[in-house]
């Protein structure tokens, strides 16, 4: 056994199967342009490799320091930020959001119908901080998810109010006040639906702290953790490191959908999306994951206390249910079987139900097929970066779990 395997308890030769798997199934057939994989255990890097291209049109090979659109992998960062304020005593999980946003006292819940014929009723209880961290608040994504067919009457109201529409310049409080005008899709806490809830968490970070969200991220998370390339905008001097973003066309060939030279991510957004607005590198997200693995601290900088982090990746769904029993809607960044949801993270409750190796890990992903997970039991994390939309195109999470967990030899 080599020294690295002794430190990590991971068989290096078995981890090399990742190379063959990705080359044979994805890079060679050009199902994705390129990707990166980072595996770390017990604080030691066990595997880090880059594959393929970061920009096919310009013939650019994948760089180790490539910058990716991480989309919904912004959500765990935003959730951590809000829980930092929880630790400072600003709110309790069961407090109503209306403590800080008075207009949220006016929420109604959809019962039936649409337009002027819509029937609503009073919520059985207010929307709480736990609800917005857990996606159990009754919010939706306004019909803006892949594969959405007929719009729900509630989604039409989101669109009519232009909530989080492209190019929005709404302030965080304007965003929150608009949401107060939309009936909730269901009674708070009674179901789960992937939604704008984490954008709400980002707004609450700004409203409670008094700092713009980007400033809070930079000063309270990115600088302490050394996440030097993570931001809402790719800086001009970093553009040569910014990946192209692709979609799989009807002919199963890659189609460019966001050229790095003209991408909206090269401009500062008016609305800073805590639900999906960040760009960053695998090294940066690896540092965020290492902080999580270490119980909230890295290089002498404590972001969260270990007890706070522990409650974040517990299952908070009512009655200990999994997402098959709670979820509305067909799309999110996780499968539903055997999966619970905590304060910003999905969590594996049963490897039998999920049909994949590993249990007790917590995780999320992004719209361009990026993924990560942290496993406290096995003391490891993985980050996978690529740029292919939508994220459900291939089951990278399940495949990489098989490859990584079968390499654990202690």
Two tokens, residue 145: 């998810």
256 and 142 in a common domain:
no
For residue 217, being part of any structural domain is answered with: no
Tell me, what CATH number does 54's domain have?
Answer: 3.40.710.10
241 and 117 in a common domain:
no
Q: Over the stretch 20-73, which tens digit does the pLDDT of each residue have?
A: 999 999 999 999 999 999 999 999 999 999 999 999 999 999 999 999 999 999
How far is Cα 367 from Cα 236, in angstroms, rounded to an integer?
24
121 and 248 in a common domain:
no
Residue 165 vs residue 64, higher pLDDT: 64
242 and 324 in a common domain:
yes
281 and 325 in a common domain:
yes
The boundaries of the domain holding residue 154 are: 79-209
44 and 29 in a common domain:
yes
Task: Report pLDDT for 225.
Answer: 98
61 and 87 in a common domain:
no
Confidence of residue 167 (pLDDT cuts 50, 70, 90): confident
**230 pLDDT exceeds 60?**
yes
For residue 146, being part of any structural domain is answered with: yes
For residue 196, being part of any structural domain is answered with: yes
Contacts of 297 (CB under 8 A, 6+ apart): 291, 303
Confidence of residue 143 (pLDDT cuts 50, 70, 90): confident
Task: Report pLDDT for 268.
Answer: 94
How far is Cα 78 from Cα 290, in angstroms, rounded to an integer?
17
How far is Cα 120 from Cα 226, in angstroms, rounded to an integer?
48
285 and 380 in a common domain:
yes
For residue 381, being part of any structural domain is answered with: yes
**166 pLDDT exceeds 70?**
no
Confidence of residue 150 (pLDDT cuts 50, 70, 90): low
Task: Report pLDDT for 2.
Answer: 64
Q: How many domains, the chain?
A: 2
Task: Report pLDDT for 30.
Answer: 97
**151 pLDDT exceeds 90?**
no
User: Phi/psi of residue 206, each to 5°?
Assistant: -70, -45
Distance of CA 29 to the CA centre of its chain: 28
**249 pLDDT exceeds 60?**
yes
**149 pLDDT exceeds 60?**
no
Confidence of residue 331 (pLDDT cuts 50, 70, 90): confident
Task: Report pLDDT for 145.
Answer: 75
Q: Buried (b) or exposed (e) across 207-229, using 16+ Cβ within 10 A? A: bbbeeebbebbbebbbebbebeb
For residue 216, being part of any structural domain is answered with: no
Q: Over the stretch 356-399, which tens digit does the pLDDT of each residue have?
A: 888 899 999 999 999 999 999 999 999 999 999 999 899 999 99
Residue whose entry in the numeric block shows the structure tokens 């050394």? 226
Q: What is the mean pLDDT of residues 151-179?
A: 90
CB count in 10 Å sphere of residue 52: 19
**308 pLDDT exceeds 90?**
yes
- Where helices occur in 102-152 by DSSP H, the ranges are 129-134
Side-by-side strand order, sheet with 362-365: 60-61, 44-55, 34-41, 380-385, 371-375, 362-365, 346-348, 339-341
The percent of residues in the chain predicted with pLDDT above 70, rounded, is 97
Task: Report pLDDT for 329.
Answer: 85
Task: Report pLDDT for 1.
Answer: 54
How far is Cα 242 from Cα 391, in angstroms, rounded to an integer?
19
84 and 62 in a common domain:
no
> Which among 209, 240, 261 is the end of a domain?
209
Q: What is the mean pLDDT of residues 157-181?
A: 90
Q: Over the stretch 267-284, which tens digit does the pLDDT of each residue have?
A: 999 999 999 999 999 999
**245 pLDDT exceeds 80?**
yes
- In this prediction the pTM is 0.97
Confidence of residue 168 (pLDDT cuts 50, 70, 90): confident
User: Phi/psi of residue 211, each to 5°?
Assistant: -105, 140
Tell me the average pLDDT of the chain.
95
Two tokens, residue 1: 């056994």
177 and 98 in a common domain:
yes
Confidence of residue 165 (pLDDT cuts 50, 70, 90): low
For residue 133, being part of any structural domain is answered with: yes
Confidence of residue 340 (pLDDT cuts 50, 70, 90): very high
Q: What is the DSSP letter of 239?
A: G
> Which of these, 293, 288, 290, lies nearest to 376 by C-alpha position?
293
Confidence of residue 148 (pLDDT cuts 50, 70, 90): low
For residue 299, being part of any structural domain is answered with: yes
> Which among 177, 209, 241 is the end of a domain?
209
248 and 199 in a common domain:
no
347 and 237 in a common domain:
yes
Distance of CA 162 to the CA centre of its chain: 23
How far is Cα 197 from Cα 223, in angstroms, rounded to an integer?
26
- Please check whether residue 121 is in contact with residue 182, taking contact to mean a CB–CB distance below 8 angstroms: no
For residue 332, being part of any structural domain is answered with: yes
């Amino acid at each position: 056994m080599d020294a690295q395997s002794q430190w990590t308890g991971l068989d290096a030769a078995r981890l090399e199967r990742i190379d063959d798997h990705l080359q044979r199934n994805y890079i060679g057939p050009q199902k994705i342009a390129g990707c990166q994989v980072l595996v770390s255990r017990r604080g030691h890097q066990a595997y880090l490799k880059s594959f393929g291209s970061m920009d096919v049109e310009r013939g650019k090979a994948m760089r180790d320091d490539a910058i990716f659109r991480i989309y919904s992998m912004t959500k765990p960062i935003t959730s951590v930020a809000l829980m930092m304020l929880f630790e400072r005593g600003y709110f309790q999980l069961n407090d109503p959001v209306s403590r800080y946003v008075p207009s949220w006292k006016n929420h109604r819940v959809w019962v039936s119908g649409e337009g002027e014929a819509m029937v609503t009723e009073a919520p059985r209880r207010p929307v709480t901080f736990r609800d917005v961290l857990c996606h159990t608040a009754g919010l939706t994504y306004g019909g803006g998810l892949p594969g959405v067919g007929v719009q729900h009457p509630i989604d039409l109201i989101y669109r009519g109010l232009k909530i989080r529409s492209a190019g929005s310049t709404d302030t965080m409080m304007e965003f929150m006040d608009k949401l107060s005008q939309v009936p909730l899709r269901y009674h708070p806490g009674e179901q789960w639906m992937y939604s704008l809830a984490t954008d709400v968490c980002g707004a609450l970070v700004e409203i409670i702290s008094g700092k713009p969200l980007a400033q809070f991220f930079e000063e309270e998370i990115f600088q302490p953790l050394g996440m030097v390339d993570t931001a809402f905008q790719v800086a001009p001097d970093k553009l040569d490191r910014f990946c192209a973003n692709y979609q799989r066309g009807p002919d199963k060939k890659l189609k460019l959908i966001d050229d790095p030279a003209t991408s909206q991510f090269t401009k500062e957004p008016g609305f800073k999306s805590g639900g999906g607005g960040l760009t960053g590198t695998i090294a940066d997200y690896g540092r965020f994951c290492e902080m999580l693995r270490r119980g909230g601290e890295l290089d002498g900088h404590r972001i969260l206390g270990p007890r706070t982090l522990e409650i974040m990746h517990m299952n908070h769904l009512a009655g200990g249910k999994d997402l098959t029993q709670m979820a509305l809607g067909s799309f999110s960044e996780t499968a539903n079987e055997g999966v619970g949801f905590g304060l910003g993270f999905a969590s594996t409750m049963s490897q039998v139900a999920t049909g994949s190796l590993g249990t007790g890990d917590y995780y999320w992903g992004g719209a361009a097929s990026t993924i990560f997970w942290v496993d406290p039991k096995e003391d490891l994390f993985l980050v996978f970066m690529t740029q292919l939309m939508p994220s459900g195109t291939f089951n990278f999470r399940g495949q990489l779990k098989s490859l990584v967990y079968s390499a654990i030899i202690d």
